[in-house]
Amino acid sequence: MTSPAPACASDASLDENRIPFFFGPASLLIPFLIFALLSVYLFVVLKVFDLMALAGAGLTALVAGALLTKKPMRYWKAVLEGAASPMTATVLLLLMAAGVFSAMMKAAGLAEALAAFTGGAIAGTPLLTPAVFLISSLLATATGSSISTILAASPIFLPFGAALGCDVPLMAGAIFGDNLAPVSDVAIISAMTQTDKFGKPLDLGRVVKTRFPFAVIALIIALPFYALGGSASEPSAALNAAADPMRLLMLIPVVLLIYIAIKMRDALHAVTMATVAGLIIGLLTGVIEPSQIVRVENGSISGILTGGIANVSGIMLMCLALFGFTGVIEHAGLADATAKFLTNENQSPRRAEVTLAVATVFISTCLAAVTSVAVALAGQLADRLLRSSIDPYRRAYLLAGFANSIPVVLPFSAFSLITLSAASALGDPFLTPFSLMTATFYPIALFVVFSVSIATGIGRPKMSDEPQATDKA
């Protein structure tokens, strides 16, 4: 007679924490739809490439959710629980550190040095466009942001390629060199949103290591297509005139960051050590001035430290809003309802991976291919609904891979619009969203590689390595 009491108490506690909505748990789809529409409106209609504005869209979606609930106090309490979770704090701190590292690399002028020292040697050959792709991929690894790479590399490589008579749409497509860096916001979020069988976030170094073979295979597939952009023009004499060989030493912090992240499996330590090393090298070689680190003018502080944090503040606030939604999802019953719709106990790994791929591509497309936001949202759903069917590290690289695949090349994606904006000064009539879509090979190669992996099972961990199998044992 005493055994039912705990169960009743448990049920009462569950009902007490449950957030009731006017139209049931499915009401939470309305805020997501509002966020998606606002994202497309900002990037496609207004052509506003501002992640801070996107953070505002996230806050608008949160407020919309509050208007749909019968218990707004419970709703905001759940938002605070999601926003104050250890995972949220980890992601925000890593993004802050990565932002400073990115600002340091930009101030050091590594992009200009790489363009100058490689461009003269390969100009006039079919190696030109593949080299641009490889260099921009290296820059993406250094900065940790594909969008930042586009903004930094487009003004350098696009005019350079155009002056050499290269196919500009193909050059613009090469700028999409995707990154799998330990400081990448996508890598960080994909690792932090997925948990192992003990409920702990994944090791970022291992996440990078497990997705590296897929990235290399996609790279090998894409490079021959980029070779079609070679030209027979003469190299520009102005390139080597502006080159500073000391800037190439800033490649050392990039190598150090990757090494520490993989070897020690501590992304935050890797970023901080690489940043310290980069500042020391930059100051000793003169490629970074002390005033570039911290500068005070007219009562205003600027420089690498404050500017780096400011550059990622939009992404940080956006993640804060999205992670707030995770607490609401947990208390609204939406995850349970979605789980019953999408999954079943006997679901095969292949079917679960197809579900994850379709959901990630759909979410990333709806969010105009803002990959960090898409991975944050899809990652939360994947960890909640598919953790028993897919190895956590495989979930992480499938999330990042599919978010950076087909959605990136669509004409209304943030990447396409930012690249077109950066290349507008060239006045090339053949550079359009649709010509860019057909000239961007690496994201398509990523989609092919991961799709084949799902279909054939290549790279899929054995069932004995998966959390579900371990739990059953």
Grouped pLDDT means (10 residues each) for the chain, 473 residues: 43 61 82 81 75 84 91 90 79 80 82 66 70 73 62 63 68 61 72 83 82 87 79 51 75 82 72 90 92 87 88 79 77 63 65 89 77 80 82 90 86 70 64 76 90 92 48 34
Nearest CA to 145 among 94, 198, 109, 187?
A: 187
pLDDT of residue 241: 47
pLDDT of residue 7: 43
Cα–Cα distance measured from residue 63 to residue 72, given in angstroms and rounded to the nearest whole number:
10
pLDDT of residue 407: 87
pLDDT of residue 449: 93
123-155: b (≥16 Cβ within 10 Å) or e: bbbbbbbbbbbbbbbbbbbbbbbbbbbbbbbbe
pLDDT of residue 426: 62
* Mean residue pLDDT across the chain: 76
Cα–Cα distance measured from residue 53 to residue 59, given in angstroms and rounded to the nearest whole number:
10
Measured at the CA of 137, the angle between CA 293 and CA 153, to 5 degrees, comes to: 60
Nearest CA to 381 among 393, 399, 367, 368?
A: 399
The pTM assigned to this predicted structure is: 0.66
